[in-house]
């Protein structure tokens, strides 16, 4: 079969993208007997292609495009309050993630947390915040709960449910896979938390601890986040869903196919998806239903690029909402050094054990009380983790002395040796409920083009001061715990600069077609056969990473599409 | 015969390729392998090798740039089409700035400076913002040669890993999933309809 042959087929479903937002639709529709085609801009890397190669994983552009070919423009506020736009080809601020079959789910760390019931109604629960476009979701936690459970089984989530004051309601007593092995430091964290009258929780992971079908259990490689998994233990969309979809014979995957235009030849219907082949030729796919899941930034960009006489501002954008209210799963980071000399030889040896996980989180501060007003306000989550084992990245961080001067020669070598041998860095990551604002959105840049001559995404990355306020409260709590467990050189950084890999929003769902792009089933209000199933639909994001919710919602939407097709 | 002249002679008779050589600037270091497809000119190589050795000298138990094969790694970097051309030009531009500085400070070409003058120039350049930034870039390449997988002809005999007692991840890369092979996959036309194709 070649590209021309594909254009002669009318598929039931055309899915653009293949990550966590795409996989469930691909899986469910293929299993149900519908003809599904997947257009993925990156290659299909097989499991054997994944090794623990730092050059490939983090030092060169392999899983992401070369920024000269495919830049984005990042717009930031300077100290004078002016917005300055700059191509990330010049700055290196890369917002691309996982351009390959399975998307960034191949490279996630798989820290999986559900949203809480109140996260679905942030506005109702905590009230308006000036300058933030907070909106309740059109669905409730109860609508998503069965799908969170489905993800636990199909994607594979390991962990242990323990009771705590923010534990979300569950339809099953525990996770289907037992917790992964833990480093001794997890006990130290539990003890320090207990001494501070705090409760730590085992952090669930989208990594299977026991074999599942043709996927093998985690073998504790010590290189997880940013790396593809060599045992298929990590619940990527590629291994857990798309590979299964292929087995049905109903699924066609076209890697290295960059979609650049969705054609609507009627005011309410998409008819074709146009894409570039690796040779640069333009081809198209015809389908009855189109599902876009290209990750938040690129999904908005594709809709904005798909202008026509019915949609002069971009597909599904007659209300001007496409690209708006982009959000990130963010808050801050910090850490501290655990020096082996501060522990007994036996414990130091346990702390140095590679591979096994930390898997601890603090949700004690998921809700806070405003010290001024006394009102309840949304807090967040603190996850604990070891510094990544990536040696080159670790070494690079040792280049500078405490005054910011470049080190070299023996001084540098001594510092490197001590860093690699005398201590282990324990880190924490803070997740607040990043507020949607008028200063965080995606548009098309009017000057910078990609290698195909198409306008690139322009991403304004403003934040709300409230994010910083909550981040600082959580950082203080995390630092307190780090001190209690004996860490040295404790630090934290709370910033409004978003993590580029955890993006959502831009096509928020809602009941009001004037203020949302999608309806509650993630179908575009204005089009009868266009769905968006990546994180773009989220009006708010909770105070956790998004991936589990993206998977769960995509399964929910897949059911809605199936109901529709069966009618 | 001085070392730099010795090298010049070898190049002129075409026997330099892949021959381990001791270079003039590596007075306290082991032999460097000159890449067959060398990007830099010999005069540029002199500058780079001096700086590499000063930034990361071979010490007791610490592998130097010869054991790490840093110069080969730098050469690969300069030839890598996937690396941004501006980044590569920046590295080369830095060399010419150093050569200019040698002329301004000593009214001599870099190759004609004695060891003490080169040391002085090295320290002077690291005090400049541009010099520190350029040297920082070299250090990144040194760290890559220290800690990347020996598959890429760096970190020879795992000397970098052994020195820092670093435990590599499992599986290590091999020829099948080599960086260049994965890059090639990004332009491969492919339509997958069967699990047997994987």
Which tens digit of pLDDT belongs to each residue from B44-60? 999 999 999 999 999 98
Alpha carbon separation from A246 to A263, B191, B195 (Å, rounded)? 27, 12, 6
Which pLDDT tens digit goes with each residue over A250-270?
A: 999 999 999 999 999 899 999
Query: What is the value of ipTM here, to two decimals?
Result: 0.94
User: pLDDT band at residue A530, thresholds of 50, 70 and 90?
Assistant: very high
B135/A44 CB distance under 8 A: no
pLDDT digits (tens, 9 = 90+) for A359-418: 999 999 999 998 888 999 999 999 999 999 999 999 999 999 999 999 999 999 999 999
Of B85, B152, B166, the CB nearest to A391: B166
Examine the pLDDT at B20 and tell me if it is beyond 60: no
Question: What was the pLDDT predicted at A567?
Answer: 85
* Fold of the domain built from segment(s) A159-203+330-390+416-433+464-497: Cholesterol Oxidase; domain 2 (3.30.410)
Burial A215-238 (b: 16+ CB within 10 A, else e): bbbbebbbbbbbbbbbbbbbbbbb
Q: Do B179 and A55 touch (CB under 8 A)?
A: yes
Measured CA to CA, the distance from residue A127 to residue B13 in angstroms comes to: 81
Q: What is the mean pLDDT of chain A?
A: 97
DSSP assignment string, A497-561: PPPTTSEEEES-B-S-TTT-SB-TTSBBTT-SSEEE-SGGG-SS-TTS-SHHHHHHHHHHHHHHH
Instruction: Select the residue of A66, A389, A392 nearest B169 (Cβ to Cβ).
Output: A389
Angle between helices B115-127 and B85-106 (to 10 degrees): 120
What's the gap in Å between the CA of B13 and the closest CA on chain A? 35
Q: Is the pLDDT of residue A443 over 80?
A: yes
Quote the CA–CA distance of A124 and A144 in Å, as a whole number.
19
CB A57 within 8 A of CB A229: no
How many beta-carbon contacts under 8 Å exist across A and B?
175
d(CA A435, nearest CA chain B) in Å: 35
A531: helix, strand or coil: strand
Are residues B188 and A247, on separate chains, in Cβ contact within 8 Å? no
Contact between A101 and A507 under an 8 Å Cβ cutoff? The reply is no
Contact list in B for residue A48 (CB cut-off 8 A) is: 176-177
pLDDT of residue A185: 98
Residue A185: DSSP 8-state: H
Bigger pLDDT: A90 or B18? A90
pLDDT bracket for residue A224 (50, 70, 90): very high
B chain contacts of residue A255, beta-carbon cutoff 8 Å: 188, 190, 192
State the DSSP code for A501: T
Q: What is the CA radius of gyration of chain B?
A: 19
Q: What is the Cα–Cα distance from A496 to A440, expressed in whole angstroms?
A: 11
- Quick one: pLDDT at residue B19? 35
Q: Which residues contact A422 (CB under 8 A, 6 or more apart)?
A: A339, A340, A341
Q: In terms of Cα–Cα distance, which of B58, B53, B57, B52 is closest to B74? A: B52
Average pLDDT for residues A176-197, to the nearest whole number?
98
* Cis bond before residue B171 (omega within 30° of 0): yes
Cβ–Cβ gap A43/B167 under 8 Å: no
pLDDT of B31 reads 80
How many C-beta atoms lie closer than 10 Å to residue A43's C-beta? 23
Query: At what angle are helices B129-147 and B42-55 packed, to 10 degrees?
Result: 80
CB-CB under 8 Å, A416 with B169:
no
The confidence score (pLDDT) of residue B170 equals 95
Q: Do B147 and A48 touch (CB under 8 A)?
A: no
- What local confidence, expressed as pLDDT, does residue A253 receive? 98
Can you tell me the distance from the alpha carbon of A327 to that of A436, in angstroms, rounded to the nearest whole number?
Answer: 6
Instruction: Quick: pLDDT tens for A14-65.
Output: 999 999 999 999 999 999 999 999 999 999 999 999 999 999 999 999 999 9
Q: What is the pLDDT of residue B33?
A: 84
Q: Cα–Cα distance between A275 and A259 in angstroms, integer?
A: 4
Mean pLDDT of B115-135: 96
Closest residue by Cα to residue A171 from A131, A144, A208: A144
Mutate to test the interface with B, among A1, A14, A46, A55 (most CBs of B within 10 A): A55
Residue B115, pLDDT score: 95
Residues with Cβ within 8 Å of residue A371, at least 6 apart in sequence = none
CB contact under 8 A, A1 and B191: yes
Q: What is residue A231's predicted lDDT score, i.e. its pLDDT?
A: 98
A333 pLDDT above the threshold of 50: yes
DSSP per-residue codes, B34-83: PPTT--S-HHHHHHHHHHHHHHS--BTTB--HHHHTHHHHHHHHHH-TTS
| Probe site for chain B from A38, A50, A56, A412 (most B CB atoms < 10 A) | A56
- Subunit contact A277:B169, Cβ cutoff 8 A: no
Alpha-carbon dihedral angle through residues A59, A61, A67, A73, given to the nearest 10 degrees: -70
Architecture of A1-158+234-328+437-462+501-567 per CATH? 3-Layer(bba) Sandwich (3.50)
Q: What pLDDT was estimated at residue B32?
A: 87
pLDDT (tens digit per residue) in A345-369: 999 999 999 999 999 999 999 999 9
Average pLDDT, chain B: 87
Q: H or E stretch including A89? A: helix A88-91
pLDDT in tens, A481-523: 999 999 999 999 999 999 999 999 999 999 999 999 999 999 9
Residue B24: pLDDT over 50: no
| Percent of chain B's residues with pLDDT above 70 | 85
What pLDDT does residue A92 have? 87
CATH 3.50.50.60 boundaries in chain A: 1-158+234-328+437-462+501-567
Provide the pLDDT for residue A101. Answer: 98
The predicted-structure confidence for A126-160, as pLDDT tens digits, reads as follows: 999 999 999 999 999 999 999 999 999 999 999 99
Q: Inform me whether the pLDDT recorded for B16 exceeds 70.
A: no
Asked whether the predicted pLDDT for residue A187 surpasses 70, the reply is: yes
**Between chains, do A53 and B149 touch, taking CB under 8 Å as contact?**
yes
Would you say residue B4 has pLDDT above 60?
A: no
Check pLDDT > 90 for residue B174: yes
What kind and span of H or E run contains A481? helix A465-484
B13 pLDDT exceeds 50?
A: no
């Amino acid at each position: 079969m070649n590209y021309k042959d594909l254009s002669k087929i009318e598929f039931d479903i055309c899915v653009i993208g293949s990550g966590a937002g795409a996989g469930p639709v691909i899986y469910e529709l293929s299993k149900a007997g519908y003809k599904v085609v997947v257009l993925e801009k990156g290659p299909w890397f097989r499991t054997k292609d994944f090794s623990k190669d730092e050059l490939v994983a983090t030092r060169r552009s392999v899983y992401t495009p070369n920024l000269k070919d495919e830049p984005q423009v990042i717009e930031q506020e300077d100290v004078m309050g002016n917005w300055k736009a700059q191509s990330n080809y010049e700055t290196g601020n890369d917002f691309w993630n996982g351009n390959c079959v399975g998307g960034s789910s191949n490279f996630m760390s798989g820290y999986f947390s559900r949203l809480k019931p109140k996260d679905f109604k942030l506005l109702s629960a905590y009230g308006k915040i000036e300058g933030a476009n907070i909106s309740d979701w059109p669905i409730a936690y109860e609508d998503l709960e069965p799908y969170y459970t489905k993800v636990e089984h199909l994607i594979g989530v390991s962990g242990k449910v323990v009771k705590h004051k923010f534990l979300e309601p569950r339809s099953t007593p525990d996770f289907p896979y037992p917790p992964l092995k833990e480093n001794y430091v997890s006990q130290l964290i539990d003890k320090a938390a207990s001494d501070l009258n705090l409760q730590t929780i085992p952090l669930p992971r989208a990594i299977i601890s026991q074999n599942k079908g043709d996927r093998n259990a985690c073998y504790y490689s010590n290189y997880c986040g940013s790396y593809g998994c060599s045992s298929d233990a990590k619940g990527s969309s590629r291994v857990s869903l798309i590979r299964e979809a292929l087995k049905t014979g109903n699924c066609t995957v076209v890697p290295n196919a960059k979609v650049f235009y969705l054609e609507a030849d009627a005011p309410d219907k998409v008819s074709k998806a146009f894409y570039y082949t690796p040779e640069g030729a333009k081809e198209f796919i015809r389908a009855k239903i189109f599902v876009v899941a290209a990750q938040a930034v690129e999904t908005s960009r594709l809709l904005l690029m798909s202008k026509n006489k019915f949609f002069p501002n971009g597909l599904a954008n007659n209300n001007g909402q496409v690209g708006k209210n982009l959000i990130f799963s963010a808050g801050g980071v910090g850490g501290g050094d655990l020096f082996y000399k501060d522990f007994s030889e036996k414990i130091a040896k346990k702390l140095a054990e590679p591979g096994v996980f930390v898997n601890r989180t603090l949700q004690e501060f998921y809700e806070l009380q405003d010290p001024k007003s006394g009102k309840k306000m949304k807090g967040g989550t603190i996850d604990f983790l070891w510094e990544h084992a990536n040696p080159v990245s670790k070494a690079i961080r040792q280049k500078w002395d405490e005054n910011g001067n470049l080190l070299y020669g023996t001084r540098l070598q001594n510092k490197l040796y001590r860093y690699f041998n005398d201590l282990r860095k324990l880190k924490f990551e803070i997740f607040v409920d990043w507020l949607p604002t008028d200063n965080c959105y995606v548009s098309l840049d009017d000057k910078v083009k990609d290698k195909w001559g198409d306008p690139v995404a322009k991403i304004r990355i403003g934040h709300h001061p409230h994010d910083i306020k909550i981040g600082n409260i959580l950082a203080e709590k995390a630092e307190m715990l780090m001190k209690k467990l004996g860490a040295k050189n404790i630090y934290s950084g709370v910033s409004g600069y978003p993590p580029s890999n955890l993006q959502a929003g831009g096509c928020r769902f809602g009941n009001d077609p004037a203020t949302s792009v999608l309806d509650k089933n993630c179908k575009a209000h204005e089009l009868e056969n266009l769905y968006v199933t990546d994180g773009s639909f989220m009006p708010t994001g909770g105070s956790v990473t998004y991936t589990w919710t993206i998977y769960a919602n995509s399964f929910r939407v897949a059911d809605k599409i199936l109901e529709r097709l069966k009618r | 015969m001085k070392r730099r002249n010795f090298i010049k002679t070898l190049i002129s008779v075409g026997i330099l390729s892949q021959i381990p050589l001791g270079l003039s600037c590596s007075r306290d270091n082991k032999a460097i392998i000159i890449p067959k497809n060398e990007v830099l000119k010999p005069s540029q190589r002199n500058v780079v090798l001096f700086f590499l050795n000063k930034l990361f000298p071979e010490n007791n138990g610490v592998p130097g740039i010869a054991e790490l094969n840093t110069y080969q790694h730098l050469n690969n970097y300069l030839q890598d089409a996937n690396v941004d051309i501006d980044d590569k030009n920046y590295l080369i531009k830095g060399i010419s700035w150093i050569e200019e500085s040698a002329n301004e400070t000593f009214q001599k070409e870099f190759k004609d400076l004695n060891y003490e003058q080169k040391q002085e120039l090295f320290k002077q350049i690291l005090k400049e913002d541009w010099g520190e930034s350029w040297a920082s870039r070299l250090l990144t390449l040194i760290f890559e040669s220290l800690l990347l997988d020996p598959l890429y002809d760096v970190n020879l005999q795992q000397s970098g890993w052994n020195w820092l007692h670093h435990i590599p991840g499992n599986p290590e890369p091999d020829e099948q999933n080599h960086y260049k092979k994965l890059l090639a996959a990004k332009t491969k036309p492919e339509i997958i309809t069967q699990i047997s194709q994987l």
